[in-house]
Amino acid sequence: MPCLRNDRAPAGFRAGLALCAGPWAEGCVLVSRARALQRLTPADMIAADESQGTEFKASARWNVHTRQADKSLRHNIVKAVCGFLNGEGGNLYVGVADDGTVLGIENDLTTLESQASVDGYELFVRQLIDSSLSTPTATTVRVGFPEIAGNVVCQISVAAAGMPVFAKPAKGGNGATDFWVRVGNATKQLHGDDLLRYKEDHWG
């Protein structure tokens, strides 16, 4: 399990690391990390940068470069959630740029028209995920809207799945055939023998 760099980690986490020393240091770091992460706020997690359990997406509906609605962005959300489900779980923050800048979801909300509210946004997220994945996510995915630095972001909290989860390809189609998994601070697609080995190692 990768550890946060001391200079980027929140103060509470650095304090836990300072207590670790000696031959049990590695195990101590892992325990301290797990306990510290339970106490971190969304702002802390974003400040600590992307990691095995944290991913940022600037938006899910509004292209920040072309400054218009862009349906292709939705697949990025599906991939990220699928990756966390097939990995160790984690948090996806929508409305946060890759460099950790908090943008908020205001532009995304404007594309929802009559449903331009956090309730409408949660409905959009849940419908997108459940229509794109091979397994229902009612018990494994939670959606919240913390306010950070004056901006509302969407926090999608994902628990690890008890079985492999597949996603529909970016170009659509009737079947969910793509397997994504979170590896370090990236979400990767596995195929063939790599997929079979991962399934055996991860789920037995």
Mean residue pLDDT of the chain comes to: 86
Give the pLDDT band (50/70/90) at residue 82: very high
Does the pLDDT at position 28 exceed 70? no
Nearest 5 degrees, angle CA 169-CA 170-CA 174? 45
The fold adopted by the segment(s) 49-203 is 3.30.950
**CA 35 from chain center: how many Å?**
19
Kindly report, residue by residue over 95-113, the tens digit of the pLDDT.
999 999 999 999 999 999 8
The stretches of 11-100 forming alpha helices (DSSP H) are 11-18, 25-39, 42-47, 74-86
The segment(s) of the chain belonging to CATH 3.30.950 are: 49-203
Rama region for 167: left / alpha / beta (φ>0; ψ in -120 to 50; rest): beta
| pLDDT at residue number 39 | 77
Give me the mean pLDDT over the 74-79 stretch.
98
